């Protein structure tokens, strides 16, 4: 008789919050060029990930890490419970690029997911994410319905005070 394992309980740890400055008005090519990416998926563009924000904005940001593979709805529940008075929200592509431009020990060692914005590519929805490959991180897309691995850091943001 096959053994069916129950999923481990979800435990999410949070990094110390840090400041993230995003210049939403800067041209997209220059923001992308300021990142340390070795490869960029062709779908990482304003044509797929439209930014509604404008100007230079300061955010408080942090990384969330799950202890097991996790789906988007599980992580959404985590951030909705975290701080109801000053809620965190998943980062968008603009935040991911600003984080990558800062080149810190997290964004060069771990995949980072920006689940705050999806793009329709062909007939599926995708999120922007950075991942490891070669000697420098790459930035690409992952289907919204797939699991995220334990090593993934989920970037979350909220307006700075």
CA distance 113 to 94: 12
Alpha helical stretches, state H, the chain: 28-33, 72-82, 93-101
Q: Which residue has the tokens 């992952």?
A: 142
Q: Would you say residue 1 has pLDDT above 70?
A: no
Domain ranges of the chain: 12-159
Angle value at C-alpha 125, between 147 and 111, nearest 5 degrees: 45
pLDDT-above-90 percentage for the chain: 57
Question: Hey, what are 17's tokens?
Answer: 């919050």
Q: What's the pTM value of the predicted model, to 2 decimals?
A: 0.90
- Residue 79 φ/ψ region, left for φ over 0, alpha for ψ in the -120 to 50 degree band, beta for the rest: alpha
Q: Which residues contact 17 (CB under 8 A, 6 or more apart)?
A: 60, 61, 62
Nearest to 75 by CA among 114, 106, 128: 114
Q: What is the mean pLDDT of residues 45-60?
A: 92
Instruction: Provide φ and ψ at 112, rounded to 5°.
Output: -120, 130
| pLDDT tens readout for residues 82-129 | 888 889 999 999 999 999 998 778 888 899 999 999 999 999 999 999
Its sign, for the CA torsion 102, 108, 110, 115, is positive
Q: HSE (CB half, 13 Å, CA atoms) of 68?
A: 8
User: How many alpha carbons fall within 13 Å on the CB side of residue 140?
Assistant: 11
């Amino acid at each position: 008789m096959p053994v069916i394992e129950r999923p481990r309980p979800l435990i999410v740890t949070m990094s110390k919050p840090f400041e993230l400055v995003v210049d939403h008005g800067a041209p997209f090519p220059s923001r992308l060029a300021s990142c340390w990416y070795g490869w960029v998926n062709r779908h990482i563009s304003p044509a797929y990930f439209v930014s509604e924000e404008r100007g230079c904005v300061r955010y408080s940001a942090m990384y969330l890490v799950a202890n097991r593979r996790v789906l988007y709805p599980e992580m959404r529940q985590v951030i909705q419970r975290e701080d109801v008075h000053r809620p965190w929200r998943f980062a968008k592509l603009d935040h991911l690029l600003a984080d990558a431009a800062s080149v810190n020990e997290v964004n060069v060692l771990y995949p980072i997911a920006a689940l705050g914005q999806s793009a329709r590519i062909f007939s599926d929805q995708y999120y922007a994410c950075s991942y490891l490959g070669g000697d420098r991180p790459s930035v690409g897309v992952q289907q919204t319905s797939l699991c995220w691995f334990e090593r993934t850091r989920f970037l979350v943001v909220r307006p700075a005070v």
